[in-house]
Amino acid sequence: MVRTQAIIHIGIGIIWAGTFGAIAGPVCKIIGLIEDLVAESKSDIRMWRRYPKMQTIFYLRNYIQTLKLNRAPATDVTRLMARYREGTLSPPHPIIQIGISVIFTILRLPGALISGMVEGPMVVWDDWRRRHPIMTLHPKSEVRP
């Protein structure tokens, strides 16, 4: 009798783990990706606000490098340095960095969905097995808490 009940509970547990885990796993992975993207975007904006001089110097170096590669006249670099000394030069909003983060998140999405479909049922099955003491086929075996 106990063996029959255990087999029935195992069957129900496998069906439950397969259906709920295959749905909940990818959803949780998507939520995790969105949380990572939000945290990274907040970090970029915080750095842009907190350290404007460092961001301006970084922007200035990249811009001067671009001017040199495009063989711009030296007066452009001089004018740019004068604007920096006056304090009228400010770096652009980190929208490009946030956009690149969004693109990488979209590229990571298929892998996250697949791993969620694999890991989700395993997590649900492990939880089901721990919560139901009848899952053990041997009557003297102990159930882990």
* Spans in the chain with pLDDT lower than 70: 1-2, 51-56, 67-77, 84-92, 133-145
The CA distance from 4 to 137, in Å, is 9
Domain that holds residue 88: 2-133
pLDDT in tens, 20-60: 889 999 999 999 999 999 999 998 888 777 766 666 677 77
Q: In this predicted structure, what is the pLDDT of residue 30?
A: 95
Q: How many structural domains compose the chain?
A: 1
Residue with tokens 């770096």: 91
- Cβ–Cβ < 8 Å for 101, 41: yes
Q: In this predicted structure, what is the pLDDT of residue 1?
A: 63
Task: Identify whether 40 is part of a domain.
Answer: yes
Task: Identify whether 111 is part of a domain.
Answer: yes
How confident is the prediction for the chain on average, in pLDDT? 79
User: Phi and psi (nearest 5°) for 132?
Assistant: -115, 105
Residue among 64, 97, 69, 68 nearest 83 (CA): 64
